[in-house]
Structure 1
Amino acid sequence: MKAFLSIFLIFIGLMSFNASASNNKANQAPHWTLKTQAGKTISLADYQGKPVILHFWATWCPYCKKLQPKLVELKEKYQDTGIEIVAISFSEDEGAKPQDSITQRGYQFITGVEGDKVANLYGVKGTPTTFFINRSGQVVFKSTSSNIADPQLELAVKEIIKPKQAL
């Protein structure tokens, strides 16, 4: 019963946050443009109309390494919705190769590098920090946890994959 109550309260919290987000342009995800490790330009605009898991991380962060398999699992579970994971590496050690780290871990998501300014734009204080952005470009949920058992992660994904609401 406690587990059900906890999940219910989390769901209510997400629904309340989402309801306020849909009526508030202040929750619009800030736009950004970065380069990848290979020099390709990527931006949030590239994912317009898609649900996005925006994951701020660093190669040296053990908590990021713990969380990333869960994010990939959620993307794969809901892949038919067009959901994307976009990572932004920041606060890196000199010579770090973030995309190489992701590839070595067996993941396919893209990573923008030297994302310190974007992290500041989003108010990110540490790693990992993950934003769940809906099809309208609104931040529905923010997580600073690496707890892969946290039911809020999947509930947030279920919110961002909902069809875009007509105005």
Structure 2
Amino acid sequence: MKKGIIMVLCVLLAVALVVIGVISFKDDSNKNTDITSDVTSSPESSAAVSPEPDSGTLKMADDFTLTDLNGNQVTLSELKGKNVFLNFFATWCSPCKRELPDIQKIEEEYKDKDLLVYLVDLGEDENTVKEFLKKNNYTFNVLMDINSDAGNLYRTTEIPTSFFINKEGRIVVRHTSIMTYEQMKNNVEKLYK
């Protein structure tokens, strides 16, 4: 008798788990597919660098126009002729915050070498970003991506994510996750080859 009750309970438990799994799967499939609506900071150990294709097949960087903290519009395609280090970040992102001092160092080191460094803030308000920069004495050019339009265009689902774009407007390296100073410098140097 006890074995029969235990068997019935096990079957009921298995059925309940299957029902929960089906409901959960259906709920996930109905979620909004906006790429950056659920942007997360990337795990520190998962650096993903896109393979470097042959120089003749480098992908053109998608164009966008965003406004900086001074109210100026910046259009990526108008930056051709300069190398661009584009970093998607947010002030709440711990890995982003840890790599910012090295980005500042790269910006200062390459300021006279045709390198433009732009940070793209995803979804935060201007005052939050201005206060963060002031508090940390950063002098970055920050572009405000309030609606994550550029983030969606560049399929940025984890931050920090960086793009190294050469003078022709082609993406030489995409790097997802925090970078060391040496990694940044190595990726910047690839722009000059």
TM-score (norm 1): 0.75
Q: Does 1:68 align with 2:100?
A: yes
- CA spacing shift, 1:42–1:158, aligned 2, 3 Å: same
- CA spacing shift, 1:97–1:31, aligned 2, 3 Å: same
SS at match of 2:101: helix
Identify the residue that residue 112 of structure 2 maps to in structure 1.
Answer: 80
Contact 1:37–1:97, Cα closer than 8 Å, also in 2: no
Identify the residue that residue 185 of structure 2 maps to in structure 1.
Answer: 154
Could you tell me how far apart the structure 1 residues matched to 2:121 and 2:186 are? 25
Contact 2:158–2:177, Cα closer than 8 Å, also in 1: no
Q: Does 1:104 align with 2:159?
A: no
Identify the residue that residue 4 of structure 1 maps to in structure 2.
Answer: none
Could you tell me how far apart the structure 1 residues matched to 2:157 and 2:91 are? 16
One-letter amino acid matched to 2:129:
P
| Greater gyration radius | 2
For structure 1, which runs of at least 5 residues remain unmatched after alignment? Answer: 1-12, 163-167
- CA spacing shift, 1:74–1:118, aligned 2, 3 Å: same
Identify the residue that residue 85 of structure 2 maps to in structure 1.
Answer: 53
Identify the residue that residue 56 of structure 2 maps to in structure 1.
Answer: 23
Shift of 1:155: 1.2
Contact 1:87–1:110, Cα closer than 8 Å, also in 2: yes
Could you tell me how far apart the structure 2 residues matched to 1:77 and 1:154 are? 10
For structure 2, which runs of at least 5 residues remain unmatched after alignment? Answer: 1-48
Contact 1:36–1:111, Cα closer than 8 Å, also in 2: yes
- CA spacing shift, 1:33–1:146, aligned 2, 3 Å: same
Could you tell me how far apart the structure 2 residues matched to 1:33 and 1:115 are? 12
Could you tell me how far apart the structure 2 residues matched to 1:157 and 1:50 are? 12
Identify the residue that residue 41 of structure 1 maps to in structure 2.
Answer: 73
Identify the residue that residue 6 of structure 1 maps to in structure 2.
Answer: none
SS at match of 2:142: strand
* Number of residue-to-residue matches in the alignment: 144
Q: Superposition RMSD on alpha carbons, in Å?
A: 2.3
One-letter amino acid matched to 1:107:
Y
Contact 1:86–1:109, Cα closer than 8 Å, also in 2: yes
1:61-105 per-residue CA deviation (whole Å, 9 max, x = no partner) reads 11111111111212222333121111111133x675324422432
Shift of 1:33: 0.2
